[in-house]
Structure 1
Amino acid sequence: MKDEALDRGIPIRSISRAIAVLQAINRGQSLSMMEIAKASAVPYPTACRIVQTLLHEGLIEREASRKRYQPTAMVQTLAHGFQGHGALVHATRPHIAALTREIGWPISLTTHVGSAMVIRDSTHAQTSLTFNAYFPGYAMPILECAAGLVYLAFVDIAERNTILNSLAYLDDDDSRHMLQLAREGGLIDTVRSSGYAARGFNRFTQNPGKTSSIAVPLFEQGAIAGALTLAFFASAIKIGDAVKLFLPALNACATAITEDLDADPVAAAG
C-alpha cells in the first residue's frame, strides 16, 4: 500500500532543484552563481538560497579569492552505501581501453540512476583527445545525453514510462521540449530502430558545447545494463561523419562486453 502511494506521489520540487544545483557545481568544479543557475536550470533567486543551504551543510564552499563555489569532500558521503556496478565495470574496462587505443577518442560506461545517466568508468584519462577527465559519479540528465536516449529506447516500456512521468514535473523549457520529442515526436522509436543515439554540442559537460557524442546500448542477459558513449570534439568531426567512422567499432565493443557478461557473469564480477 505504501509503495502504491509512493508511485502516485508528486516529487518535491525544492529537493529536485537542490539536487540539480549540487550536480551542476559537482560537474563544473568551480562556478559563479550565474553559472550555477544556468547549468542547473534553476531560477537565480532559488539557486542563491540553495547555495546558501549547501554552504551551511558543508557540501560546497566559496573560494576565498573570488565569488565562485566548488564541491567539498563532504559530497562523497552521499555515495556511502552504494555498491556500484563492479561486474559491469570489470567486464567493460579492457574493451573500452582497447577501443580508445585504436581510435583515440574517449569512451564512457554509464548506467541509469533516477533522472540521470551516471559515469561508472571512462577512458578520458587515457587519451589527449579530451578537454577533461571524467571520473565515476559524474551525472548527466537522461534526456540531454546520447546515453540517456539509448537507455530510454531499449529499457522496457513500464520503466520508460515511469522515468518519463517523473521527468514531466521538471519545469524548464528544454526538458519539456525533449520530453515531448521522447513521448510524441518519434525520438525513442528512431533511436531504437537505428540502434544508437547521437547528440551534438553537449551541454552538460565540463566544457559545454565543445563535444558531441554517439552512444550504443550495452546488454546483460537480454536486458539493457547501460550505455557506451564515444565523445569527440564537435569542431573536429561532424556527427554524420563520426557515425560512419566509429559506430561499427563502438557496436563491436558493446557486443564483446555483452558476450563476456553472458558467458560467465561470476567471472566477470572478478
Structure 2
Amino acid sequence: MEKGVPIRSITRSIAALKAINRHGSLSMMEIARAAKVPYPTACRIVQTLAYEGLIEQEPARKRYRATPLVQTLATGFQHDDELVCIARRHIVDFTRRAGWPMSIAIRVGREMMLRDSTHSNSSLTFENYYPGFTLPILDSASGRVSIAFADDEEREQILQFMWISQDIDNAYLSTAEISLDVERIRAEGYAVQGRNHHNLTPGRTSSIAVPVFRNGRFEAALTMIFFVAAMKISEAVERYLPEIKATAAAISHDLSNGAPAGSA
C-alpha cells in the first residue's frame, strides 16, 4: 500500500458516520464533536451522507441516524469465523471459572474490533458488548498487545499512519507511543489498561490483554475486563494472568492445528 496523507474530508466523513452508527443517533453538535470538525463542516458532512442515503433525520427531532443502506457497505466483506468458533468455548469456560467477562478482538485500521465476548455470560459487567464494537488502538489493552506483537514493518506503518492523520493530537500520540513499551509487552506477554475510557462505562473498568497466535503469527487479542472497584491491576495480574495466558495458549493451539469448532 502506498504511503501518503489521507484525504481529510473523507476521513472526517467516515468518522461522523462511525459515530452516528455507534451511538444510534446524534445531534449536529454531537456529530461535530465526534468528527472533530467545526459546526459548518459537520453540516456539510451530514448533508452529503444524507444525500447518499446513508443517514437520515429522525422524525420530529434534529438528530441523525444511520439508514439500512449502511448495511450494504458490508455485503462484500468476507471474514474467516474460525477464530470466533474456536475461541468461543475457551472464553466461556474462562468466564464460568473466573466470573469476569472476556473478549477477543482483532485490529481493523487504527482500532480494535470486538469479534466475540462473554459479557452476556457474566453478572460481573456493566454492559453487554457485541461484535463490531471498536476501541482505539493506543487506548486499550488489546490495542497495545496488537501493536506490540505486530511485525516490525506493520507496526511502523500503523504508527506512521496515525502520525499523519489529522484528527489525532500529536502531543497525545507522542505520549501514547512512548508509554506503549513494546519490548516490555513482548517480554512479559501482556498489556494492561487502567480505567477504560472508550467503552460504554468510561472509567469504571480495567483490562488485561494477551496475544493469540496462529502458527506463530499474531492473530487477535484476548482480554479480561474487571471492575476498577473490585481490585487493583497488580492484584488482577497476579490472580488471573496465568489463566488468561493459558486460555490464549489453548485458542492458539486449536487455531494452529485446525481443531474443529466446539471440540473438546
Task: Give the shorter-chain TM-score range.
Answer: 0.7 to 0.9
Give the partner amino acid of 2:183: D
Contact conserved, 1:106 with 1:126, CA < 8 A, in 2? yes
Question: Alpha-carbon deviation of 1:69?
Answer: 3.4
Instruction: Give, in angstroms, the shift of residue 68 of structure 1.
Output: 3.4
What is the DSSP-based 3-state SS (H/G/I as helix, E as strand, rest coil) of the residue aligned with 2:26? coil
Residue identity opposite 1:153 in structure 2:
A
Q: Which amino acid aligns with 1:120?
A: R
Aligned to 2:156: 161
1:93-137 alpha-carbon deviations (Å, 9 max, x no partner): 100111112222221111111111111111122223223222222
**Aligned partners of 2:31 and 2:37: how far apart in 1?**
8
After superposition, the Cα gap between the structure-2 partners of 1:24 and 1:242, relative to the gap in structure 1 and judged at 3 Å, is farther
* Residue in structure 1 matched with residue 26 of structure 2 by the alignment: 31
Question: Are residues 1:102 and 2:115 paired?
Answer: no
Of 147-156 and 124-133, deviating more is 124-133
- In the alignment, is residue 141 of structure 1 matched against residue 143 of structure 2? no
Asked if the contact 1:21–1:42 (Cα under 8 Å) also holds between the matched residues in 2, the reply is no
Q: How many residues align?
A: 263
- Counterpart position of 2:250: 256
Within 2, Cα distance between the matches of 1:62 and 1:167?
Answer: 32
Are the equivalent residues in 2 in contact too, given 1:110–1:147 (CA < 8 A)?
yes
1:217 counterpart = 2:211: yes
The 3 A distance-change label for structure 1 pair 32 and 194 is farther
TM-score of the aligned structures, taking structure 1 as reference length:
0.85
Q: Is the 8 A contact 2:144 2:180 kept in 1?
A: no
Conservation of the 8 A alpha-carbon contact between 1:88 and 1:269: no
Contact (CA 8 Å) 1:199, 1:212: kept in 2 or not?
yes
Find the aligned partners of 1:37 and 1:194 in 2 and give their Cα distance. Answer: 41
Contact 1:23 1:139 in 2 (8 A): no
For 2:123, the equivalent position in structure 1 comes to: 128
- 2:55 maps to a residue whose letter is I
Match of 1:84 among 63, 74, 79: 79
State which of 70, 73, 81 in structure 2 corresponds to 1:75: 70
Q: CA offset at residue 53 of structure 1?
A: 2.6
SS of the residue corresponding to residue 245 of structure 2 reads helix
Residues 168 and 243 (structure 1), Cα distance of their counterparts in 2 relative to 1, 3 Å cut: same
Tell me which residue corresponds to 1:3: none
Structure with the higher fraction of residues in helix conformation: 1
Task: Check whether the contact 1:39–1:204 (CA below 8 A) recurs between aligned residues.
Answer: no
CA distance in 2, matches of 1:207, 1:30: 18
Unaligned runs of 5+ in 1: 1-5
CA contact (8 A) 1:182 1:188 kept: no
Matches for 1:194-233 after TM superposition, within 5 Å: 194-233=188-227
Structure 1 stretch displaced more, 191-200 or 178-187: 178-187
* Cα separation, 1, equivalents of 2:167 and 2:25: 23
Distance in 1, matches of 2:216 and 2:252, equals 9
Pair 1:127–1:33, CA change in 2 (3 A): farther
Q: Which runs of 4+ in 1 moved over 6 A?
A: none
TM-score by length of 2: 0.87
Q: Label 1:62 to 1:214 Cα distance change in 2 as closer, same or farther (>3 A).
A: farther
CA distance in 1 between counterparts of 2:38 and 2:191 reads 30
Shift of 1:227: 0.4
1-side partners of 2:60 and 2:45: how far apart? 21
RMSD: 2.5
Percent identity between matched residues is 51
Q: Unpaired segments of 5 or more residues in structure 2?
A: none
